[in-house]
A and B are shown apart, each in its own frame.
Chain A
Amino acid sequence: MDKMPKWADVILIPLISVLLALVVSGLVVAIIGESPWQAMQVMVRGAFGSAYGWGYTLYYATNFIFTGLAVAVAFHARLFNIGGEGQAAIGGLGVAIILLNVAWPHWTVALVAAIVFSAAFGAAWAAVPAYLQAKRGSHIVITTIMFNYIASALLVYLLVNVLRVEGSMAPESARFSEAVHLPAAADFAGFLGFGGSAPLNFTFFIALLACVGVWLLIWRTRLGYEIRSFGHSETAAVYAGINPVKITMITMLISGGLAGMMAINVVMGEAERLVLDFVEGAGFVGIAVALMGRSHPVGVVLAALLFGALYQGGAELQFEMPAISREMVVVIQALVILFTGALDNMVRMPMQAFFLSLRRRREAQAQNSPAE
């Protein structure tokens, strides 16, 4: 007997949690002396009020779908990958290397190469923490965070000393050739009003494809079955002949690969060169997205959309209400993680009690009115 219906578990509880997070965020805005109501209006208008806004919202959402899926896949094996930030950064390195060093005839082939290289580089960056967790029991949370710092230092070094264009002061690589520029929203969805400045690009479809892929992987393949088994109980997995080292490695490689693919959107799709700090916290947003989306691709897409809107709305907010720092988005992200992740039971326990009393009352009524 379950304590409450499945829809309440899957939809109602995350919804209430996110609402709570937004209410508390509003309180923070009110405390620093601004109007939360006005702030919300600015953000909603900024994110959804125009094709331009949508172009940015969906562009950010694309990033968060990749990083959210990365965290979600790891969650299924009960692994907490906080290294999305570093894996994405190194993924970007992979994209830059392959796009700069090969004369690509057409963006389609270049895209395939970028997918392979971003995923491979991201996966490689996840491999060491994964191996240390699987073989030596080193705390993957701490090691992946350390690898974020190391990735950041490595990227700075490479951009300053190796990839920087001679004569330029900016720590960034050369621009990619015209041939590998991905179609932007204006090209494939100009009829919806997207202009040339919207950064939304073809990668969005790759992200949606990745969602389908992850769904198939987790719920339809033997590997997914093994990942989920391992995530629920390691001893049971060993009993069933599932190798914990292998599953930990494979899951983290997939997770790192997904995080790395986020770089396609930014490096290849938008900046068209490798720049410093291009990940901009998207790796961390992935944690909130995965938690809020209950580690399910559909949930991840919805949560990524919310955070895409927050990011875009937050940027608009900075123009219209400069007193509110852009870091407000980080606060909201923290509160979403807090309420949907750590304080889950705070919402869950009263809901369970509520549904239980509802059922009791129904049963009592059924007893009081004997069947005809």
Chain B
Amino acid sequence: MTTSAPAIELKGISKSFGPVQANKDISMSVARGTIHGIVGENGAGKSTLMSILYGFYKADRGEIWINGKLTPIPDSQSAIRAGIGMVHQHFKLVENFTVVENVILGAEDGAMLRPSIAKARKLLTELSEEYGLKVDPDAVIEDLSVGHQQRVEILKQLYRHADILILDEPTGVLTPAEADQLFRILERLKAEGKTIILITHKLREIMEITDTVSVMRRGEMTNTVKTAETSPPELAEMMVGRKVLLQVDKTPATPSDVVLSVEDLRVSRGGVERVKGISFQIRRGEILGIAGVAGNGQTELLEVLGGMIAASGGRVTLFGDPIDITGKHANGQTRRARGIGHVPEDRQTEGLIMPFEAWENVAFGYHKDARFNSGPLMDHAAMKADCVDKMARYDVRPPNPRLPARNFSGGNQQKIVVAREMDRAPELLLIGQPTRGVDIGAIEFIHKQIIALRDQGKAILLVSVELDEIMGLSDRIAVMFDGHIMGERLPDQTDQNELGLMMAGVTETEGAA
């Protein structure tokens, strides 16, 4: 360690995909043994930049310097050789392989597997102990928790002798407690002299763990500052280019009669029970937020209520009348007819047909409504007129009904779905991950719409993995873990710590002990 050159130095990196310029002339420098954060909105170009550094994409222009040496990185292999490792947001693990098989994949010692595996198993044990990353080397990935899968990803990089570790949105799938553990591991890695780049959109994490932070906006790197010398509001302003409200404005709820009542609901999928007997109620003028780490039964809950899948047991009523949740008549159209709107968790695979033009998407699920049909044929003129109207009122940009859904930005796609599902003022709105992959401007807009719907006296079931969103919007919070509701809290009588423990499955008695 004689050199004081930065671990990473990027000079004038540019990259475009077809007509889209994802990175514009980006320069950045990260000192050895530090944790450097990169923040920016969705589509700001963070992931592209890191993919270039990892050799996943080739930059159109620019240079990469590693430890003071010009290092061209045309492919991932070169990146690995240069000591760069990356933990992707979506893990790159083979699910039906064991931990050790995943770790050696691509870094085997020879043509035969057995010696490689034996050696890796030994090294893995050493690494696990050195960095506090305990995992069973022979466990199959799909049996591991998300937190442990992430450890495997980190171990994979360490096994390849990575000195520079890039983590892309690593806490999105973790409980707050798991995120804390991850940060302890990162600090330990830093103490060992590793350099870490952390990409995140959570400003709290930047403040907590990083030494320096760079802000990206619309493909450009706008600022780089010392973390100690900045604040979340300042970072948010740099990200968006204007002042933003980090708090949602809302008046206290005035809940009245019960809209939705769920009793002992059970849902199985693929032979596994995902929802294990949950009960709750939502009243008019109330937002019930369901907090929890992804994969604890929230998806199945939404899908059953939205009529996408059948429940295996339980009772659900809307205004006291039962809803058929197990029978053949359970489908999205009958639910919509009962006044249930549904903004699904994944707009790209569920909420929209990406190649369909906007006007076709605005009728999606409501395409049998009389107003979209005349006789046996669909009334295209009526559908287009409806689309133009909704686009104007929900600020969809560009307001072109003939544009295919895939050509809108994430935020505008979401606005199309929200417009479709909210505009009929449903008695009950199911809304999953309303702002995932959405820019801050659209987040503010969608949050306001949700509050407005509540203030009209409608009931809202909000599912989100973003704890900040749950705490900001909900009038009541229920936490789901492993198919159970761990408990209900009022947002002003709880905090991130308590909810985080509940999300990790710690029961109240254990918490008290």
A interface list, Cβ under 8 A from B: 1-3, 216, 220-222, 225-226, 228-229, 232-233, 235-236, 238-243, 352, 356, 359
Contacts and interface: CB of A to CB of B under 8 A. Distances in A.
B349 A236 contact: yes
A62 B200 CA distance: 60
Contacts of B355: 232
A239 B365 contact: yes
Interface string B350-387: 11111110001000110110000100111010000000
Contacts of A359: 19
A111 B373 CA distance: 33
Given A225-B360, A241-B307, A236 B19 contact: no
Contact of A222 (B20, B368, B404): B368
B483 interface: no
Nearest to A352: B18
Contacts of B18: 1, 3, 352, 356
A233 B353 contact: yes
A239 B333 contact: no
Given A222-B378, A236-B350, A356 B367 contact: no
Contacts of A236: 349-353, 364
A3 B336 contact: no
Contacts of A220: 377-378, 380
B334 interface: yes
B334 A241 contact: yes
Contacts of A243: 331
B344 interface: yes
A241 B331 contact: yes
B308 interface: yes
Interface in B8-54: 18-20
A252 B350 CA distance: 24
Given A1-B407, A222-B367, A233-B353, 8 more contacts: A220-B377, A222-B368, A233-B354, A236-B353, A238-B308, A239-B332, A239-B342, A239-B350
A341 B351 CA distance: 29
B421 to A, nearest CB: 11
A221 B368 CA distance: 10
A210 to B, nearest CB: 17
B349 A235 contact: yes
Contact of B364 (A1, A3, A229): A229
Contacts of A232: 353-356
B376 A3 contact: no
A238 B377 contact: no
Contacts, number: 77
29 contacts: A1-B20, A1-B407, A216-B377, A220-B378, A220-B380, A221-B376, A221-B377, A222-B373, A225-B378, A226-B367, A228-B353, A228-B356, A229-B364, A232-B353, A233-B349, A233-B354, A236-B349, A236-B350, A236-B364, A238-B309, A238-B332, A239-B365, A240-B333, A240-B364, A240-B365, A241-B333, A241-B334, A242-B332, A352-B18
A235 B351 CA distance: 9
A239 B378 contact: no
A228 B361 CA distance: 12
> Shortest 4 CB-CB distances between A and B: which pairs?
A241-B332, A241-B333, A240-B365, A241-B331
Q: Which residue, of B309, B331, B353, B356, has the highest number of chain A Cβ atoms within 10 A?
A: B353
B285 interface: no
B335 interface: yes
Nearest to A225: B367
A90 B354 CA distance: 38
Max count, chain B CB within 10 A of own CB: residue among A1, A233, A235, A240 = A240
B135 to A, nearest CB: 32
Interface residues of B, number: 36
Contacts of B404: 2
B176 interface: no
Interface string B406-423: 010000000000000000
Nearest to A353: B18
Nearest to A238: B308
A183 B98 CA distance: 70
A345 B350 CA distance: 27
Contacts of A3: 18-19
Contacts of B55: none
Interface string B302-320: 0000111100000000000
Contacts of B378: 220-222, 225
A235 B306 CA distance: 13
A236 B353 CA distance: 7
Residue of A229, A241, A242, A356 with most partner-chain B CB within 10 A: A241
Given A233-B349, A356-B18, A239 B306 contact: yes
Contacts of B307: 241
B277 to A, nearest CB: 24
B90 to A, nearest CB: 17
A6 to B, nearest CB: 11
Nearest to B349: A235
A2 to B, nearest CB: 7
Interface in B452-469: none
Nearest to A234: B349
Contacts of A229: 353, 356, 364
B341 to A, nearest CB: 12
Contacts of A228: 353, 356
A241 B365 contact: yes
A220 B367 CA distance: 12
Contacts of B368: 222
Contacts of B19: 1, 3, 356, 359
Given A240-B333, A241-B331, A2 B377 contact: no
B381 to A, nearest CB: 12
Contacts of B373: 222
Given A3-B19, A240-B332, A235 B360 contact: no
A356 to B, nearest CB: 6
A194 to B, nearest CB: 37
A180 B350 CA distance: 51
B75 to A, nearest CB: 20
Nearest to A224: B378
Nearest to A240: B365
Contacts of B380: 220
Contacts of A240: 332-333, 364-365, 367
A7 to B, nearest CB: 15
Contacts of B360: 225
Contacts of B365: 239-241
Nearest to B306: A239
A10 to B, nearest CB: 14
B58 to A, nearest CB: 16
Nearest to B373: A222
Given A233-B353, A352-B18, A239 B367 contact: no
A170 B376 CA distance: 48
B286 to A, nearest CB: 25
A220 B379 CA distance: 8
A2 B342 CA distance: 30
A2 B351 contact: no
Contacts of A238: 308-309, 332, 350
Contacts of B336: 241
A185 to B, nearest CB: 34
Contacts of B333: 240-241
A244 B505 CA distance: 36
Given A352-B18, A356-B19, A239 B308 contact: yes
A39 B314 CA distance: 72
